[in-house]
Structure 1
Amino acid sequence: MNESELHSLLLAPLLPEGALTLQQQLLQRIKQAILTGALSAGTPLPSTRQLAADLKVSRNTVTGVWAQLQAEGFLISDRQGSRISPFAQPPSSPNHDVSASDLLLPPRVAQLRSNHRPLSQEMALRPGVPALAHFPLAQWRRTLNRVMQHQPQQLLGYGDPLGEPALRAALAQHLALARGVRCTPEQIVITEGAQQALTLCVSLLSQRGDIGWVEEPGYRGAKAAMRLGDMRVEPIQVDAQGLAPQTRDWQQRPPRLIYNTPTHQYPTGVVMSAPRRMALLATARQHQSWIIEDDYDSDFRYSGEPIAAMQGMMQPSPVIYVGSFSKTLFPALRIGFMVLPPQLLALLRPALHELLRGGNRPEQQALAQFIHSGDYSRHLSKMRRLYRQRQTSLREALLLTLGTQTSLLGGECGMHLVLRLADTQQDTEVVERLMASGYAPGALSGFYLGEEKQQGLVLGYGNSSTSQIIAGVARIAQCLDVK
């Protein structure tokens, strides 16, 4: 575009403000010219002062447009002036409609797309969903109403960025008694689910290129959080005693963060042994690594006493303890938490105050009362009995339908079992067929990062009735062609 054409484009009169402001009109005009190729990469633009005078508009109008163009990557401004960004290239064929198959996505995005399944919580055998129909909704509603009746206006504003003090106090007491976690209420940070806690750990404790260890197989949400933080995600094998890092792993790929589910490994269900835990704690402290202990469903243990959290085994501890109420109450509550070591709390508090705003205040206050009243403990006890019965139904149906050679993983805790399949069977294909019939187990191979993957089905029984479990197992037998 020559100088005369550029002058005509930029100085065409702006319409009186209507649906679009003068700034919006000018912004759309320039962006459209860039996208269609009328303004090519490197084209110099006049100064904001000159263009504002020529258009007879406020200079703030033009500087606002320039700032937005810079923010969107269309414009570069430096000592030489402002010019069109070299990245703002129009498509080679403007009339070509680009289909989804034409788009090239980063490998990690393609992997997420391949793992994605449009699931409904009502689908039977879906892992990770509690028994929603058995939640004491009337008690919860009364508690929430009581909170809103006593302090409605106070709870409409911003709260403590780290969470409601009442909930943090209730949690500290509960975690000490039920999970063996050693902390004060001040060490607890309330988050929007456990996933936000994982994302905060990555963003606050790592830099681009740092190494993050994840269990192999392991929770996809932890891998997603690390990838979001541009960490180098390294899988560490899980054996019968849990996460099993070797000496060469510490030497060749020392981690900044270690994601671990020691009390009920997800998805295999193994429990990390005490010697393995102590070794991990000691070596992590030696290497200045932080362990993220995700205690996602250990409240539901069916034999013996609950296994205490790893966080309480060593003081000072290099552990950030993470949990939520998505499994114990209901996922839509979106309340999670992390327990920070004292040495981290003082360092991270200013950043947390900048990042968090203390939301869901009525729900947090209600949850604090729900815990203090004993309703929470009673609900957990009820759910343990229900899930134990449903797991028994699932085991019996699998053994009866598939035979005594059935190989199962897990079962001492939680809301899922893993049915191992032969290496010749593709679990993803089995899952596709089951989903078409209204069942939504997970494919075990989807929890691996490496090439060596076990085949299996992650069968959730938390939100599945006995009749759904029996029917689902019958459908599994059909998909596996069991006679």
Structure 2
Amino acid sequence: MPIRAKMGVPMHIDDLIAAAPLERAAATPLFRQLYARLKEAILHGRLAPGTRLPATRELARQLQVSRQTVLAAYEQLTAEGYLRGGVGQGTFVDASLPAARPAPDPAGTAPGMPRPLPARGLAMASSMARVRHHQGPLRAFRPSMPGLDLFPFDVWRKLEAQHWRRRELPLGYGAAAGYPLLRELLCAYLNASRGVRCTPEQIIVTTGSQQALYLLAQLLLAPGEGVWLESPGYQGAAAPFEVAGARMCLVPVDAEGMDVAHAAAHHPDAAMVFATPSHQLPLGVTMSLGRRLELLRWAEAKRAWIVEDDYDSEYRYTGPPLASLQSLDRAGCVIYVGTLSKVLFPGLRLGYVVAPPALVEPLTQAKAVVDRHSPVVPQAVLADFIQQGHFARHIRRTRDAYAERRGAMMEALASRLGGMLASGPADTGLDVCARITGPLGEAEAVARALAAGVDLRPLSYYVHPQAGPACAAPPGMLLGFSAFTPAEIRAGVARLAQALAP
């Protein structure tokens, strides 16, 4: 039976199905396949509004399927508003549907996108493109990766199972600022270990520190306002500020950390500073006390915010962890951001912000806009993990293990690559910054290492694309040691030495 379009162009059901025949061996039921073909034809105008469809028996005979298959497809299309009709009336494409028209493709619009992305959308879609994410199996010397072999996953599973058995987990919506007990425990931990001065009410739990930076950028920066960023530095930090439309104010780093005097001279009107005073990535330096006080004085005078990213300072191998920059703040301008990815495991995706009192309510409301609240179950399990002493034991255990692994790395680099690489500061964190001192350039050295199966990052990767010569990185590479046993480290250094050999 022919199906005639409203404009008088004949269309046969045979032609319609022939273009995309039913697949009898497919996992999708036949009625769902027929439903999809007819729906597609209606949406694209091949079956115009008002078109009469064949009777169910006739179409079943043509398709050599059961009548129930056709009935089920028609019923689904009728329920969704594509068809109308009834017993004795026939079945029609609903005449009230608008006729399909091919949409024009404006210049610069991606296929399938009705209009180009606005500037903010383009920034959001592209700002993380240069950030490399860990992929594939773990290999020496993947940087910034905790030792998952040391985490007590059995303990974690038992704690989570206990919650499910007791059925005490808060499975409804939670507080935007986070699980109250976890906030209390994090407050006590930060007071004792990092010198952070705060109350539990000042802590907002986030879905990782990346979300914390995004929230702060959106909340505190107007388009065009400047942000001081270390270069070389963590490239993932630049992305949220770029999406907010901020102006990138790149600041060089020397042996004392961020060059505050340089930044104040070249970018005096900035509204925010992003800094890693306890352990700079990738150079590994610690900001001197003089620089810290200089930065605080500048921020107070300019009424600027300082975002202190304290991502792995629990791991200091030549003494106790240093006090935070926040502990020196008397003007309420420092926002302390922490993460649990480096001390526990990255897949947990929990971080936190210690906000100055005046910022707590606005930041909490901003958090609610983005995702209402971070997942409650992991927060509750983490609270038990901390409260029962597992967290403190884990940090002590990993600090000892990482110290051993760091020692193995430094010894192997000195003995096998002493004439080619010079290790930078490595008294904190999970990585070693190794500057190239031999004849090889960075690009060739890194290419050789990667070809030999050594996972690393060139120092040039950490330089922002807008950086000038003053903010360049020395030729070198970042090598992670925390995720590998001493034996794996020695074997990896041997491969690296062979790869870099003349």
The alignment's TM-score, normalised by the length of structure 2, stands at 0.75
Distance of aligned partners of 1:371 and 1:248 in 2 relative to their CA distance in 1, 3 Å threshold: closer
Q: CA deviation at 1:403?
A: 2.7
The question of whether the paired residues in 1 share the 8 Å contact of 2:257 and 2:277 is answered with yes
Q: Which residue of 2 aligns with 1:292?
A: 307
- In 1: Cα distance, 2:279 partner to 2:109 partner: 51
- In 2: Cα distance, 1:249 partner to 1:294 partner: 20
For residue 141 of structure 2, the aligned residue among 125, 128, 131 is 125
Q: Which residue of 2 aligns with 1:79?
A: none
Distance of aligned partners of 1:461 and 1:408 in 2 relative to their CA distance in 1, 3 Å threshold: same
Distance of aligned partners of 1:89 and 1:190 in 2 relative to their CA distance in 1, 3 Å threshold: closer
Distance of aligned partners of 1:111 and 1:318 in 2 relative to their CA distance in 1, 3 Å threshold: closer
Matched, 1:141 2:157: yes
- Unpaired stretches in structure 1, ≥5 consecutive residues: 1-6, 31-54, 75-83, 92-105
In the alignment, residue 205 of structure 1 is paired with which amino acid?
L
Q: CA deviation at 1:191?
A: 1.1
Secondary structure in structure 1 of the residue aligned to 2:141: coil
Q: Which residue of 2 aligns with 1:473?
A: 493
Q: Deviations over 1:284-323 (max 9, x none)?
A: 1222221111110000111122101111112332111111
For residue 403 of structure 2, the aligned residue among 388, 404, 412 is 388
The question of whether the paired residues in 2 share the 8 Å contact of 1:121 and 1:129 is answered with no
Stretch of structure 1 that moved more, 117-126 or 340-349: 117-126
In the alignment, residue 388 of structure 1 is paired with which amino acid?
A
Q: CA deviation at 1:26?
A: 6.6
Q: Which residue of 1 aligns with 2:332?
A: 317
Q: CA deviation at 1:131?
A: 0.8
Q: Which residue of 1 aligns with 2:476?
A: 456
Stretch of structure 1 that moved more, 108-117 or 200-209: 108-117
Stretch of structure 1 that moved more, 355-364 or 374-383: 355-364
Matched, 1:431 2:446: yes
Secondary structure in structure 1 of the residue aligned to 2:323: coil
RMSD of the TM alignment (CA)? 3.6
Q: CA deviation at 1:27?
A: 5.8
- In 1: Cα distance, 2:439 partner to 2:183 partner: 49
Q: Which residue of 1 aligns with 2:216?
A: 201
The question of whether the paired residues in 2 share the 8 Å contact of 1:211 and 1:253 is answered with no
Secondary structure in structure 2 of the residue aligned to 1:264: coil
Q: CA deviation at 1:214?
A: 1.0
- In 2: Cα distance, 1:352 partner to 1:114 partner: 26
Q: Which residue of 1 aligns with 2:375?
A: 360
For residue 151 of structure 1, the aligned residue among 167, 172, 181 is 167
Q: CA deviation at 1:132?
A: 0.5
Distance of aligned partners of 1:121 and 1:301 in 2 relative to their CA distance in 1, 3 Å threshold: farther
Distance of aligned partners of 1:448 and 1:139 in 2 relative to their CA distance in 1, 3 Å threshold: same
Stretch of structure 1 that moved more, 455-464 or 395-404: 395-404
- In 2: Cα distance, 1:226 partner to 1:266 partner: 18
Q: Which residue of 2 aligns with 1:40?
A: none
Secondary structure in structure 2 of the residue aligned to 1:230: coil
- In 2: Cα distance, 1:90 partner to 1:323 partner: 38
For residue 163 of structure 1, the aligned residue among 178, 189, 193 is 178
- In 1: Cα distance, 2:134 partner to 2:152 partner: 28
Q: CA deviation at 1:85?
A: 7.7
In the alignment, residue 269 of structure 1 is paired with which amino acid?
G
The question of whether the paired residues in 2 share the 8 Å contact of 1:431 and 1:440 is answered with no
Q: Which residue of 1 aligns with 2:28?
A: none
- In 2: Cα distance, 1:85 partner to 1:8 partner: 25
The question of whether the paired residues in 1 share the 8 Å contact of 2:448 and 2:500 is answered with no
The question of whether the paired residues in 2 share the 8 Å contact of 1:425 and 1:455 is answered with no
Secondary structure in structure 2 of the residue aligned to 1:214: strand
Q: Which residue of 2 aligns with 1:220?
A: 235
Q: CA deviation at 1:252?
A: 4.1
Q: Which has the larger radius of gyration?
A: 2
For residue 362 of structure 2, the aligned residue among 347, 355, 369 is 347
In the alignment, residue 280 of structure 1 is paired with which amino acid?
L
Q: Deviations over 1:217-241 (max 9, x none)?
A: 1001101222222322221011111
- In 1: Cα distance, 2:458 partner to 2:474 partner: 10
Q: Which residue of 2 aligns with 1:257?
A: 272
The question of whether the paired residues in 1 share the 8 Å contact of 2:405 and 2:481 is answered with yes
Q: CA deviation at 1:165?
A: 0.8
Q: Which residue of 1 aligns with 2:205?
A: 190
Secondary structure in structure 1 of the residue aligned to 2:353: strand
Secondary structure in structure 2 of the residue aligned to 1:140: helix
Q: CA deviation at 1:137?
A: 1.2
Matched, 1:420 2:440: no
Identical columns (%): 35
Stretch of structure 1 that moved more, 286-295 or 348-357: 348-357
Distance of aligned partners of 1:348 and 1:400 in 2 relative to their CA distance in 1, 3 Å threshold: closer
- In 2: Cα distance, 1:89 partner to 1:292 partner: 37
Q: Deviations over 1:312-364 (max 9, x none)?
A: 11233211111111110111111111111111123333333222322321110
In the alignment, residue 165 of structure 2 is paired with which amino acid?
Q
In the alignment, residue 288 of structure 2 is paired with which amino acid?
S
- In 2: Cα distance, 1:470 partner to 1:346 partner: 50
Distance of aligned partners of 1:90 and 1:121 in 2 relative to their CA distance in 1, 3 Å threshold: closer
Q: Which residue of 2 aligns with 1:233?
A: 248
Q: CA deviation at 1:423?
A: 8.3
Secondary structure in structure 2 of the residue aligned to 1:397: helix
Matched, 1:244 2:264: no
In the alignment, residue 464 of structure 1 is paired with which amino acid?
F
The question of whether the paired residues in 1 share the 8 Å contact of 2:127 and 2:239 is answered with no
Secondary structure in structure 2 of the residue aligned to 1:246: helix
Distance of aligned partners of 1:252 and 1:174 in 2 relative to their CA distance in 1, 3 Å threshold: closer
Distance of aligned partners of 1:56 and 1:404 in 2 relative to their CA distance in 1, 3 Å threshold: closer
The question of whether the paired residues in 2 share the 8 Å contact of 1:423 and 1:455 is answered with no
Secondary structure in structure 2 of the residue aligned to 1:189: strand
- The count of corresponding residues between Structure 1 and Structure 2 is 422
Q: Deviations over 1:85-124 (max 9, x none)?
A: 8548799xxxxxxxxxxxxxx9998896566476335111
The question of whether the paired residues in 2 share the 8 Å contact of 1:128 and 1:327 is answered with yes
Q: Which residue of 1 aligns with 2:426?
A: 411
The question of whether the paired residues in 1 share the 8 Å contact of 2:251 and 2:262 is answered with no
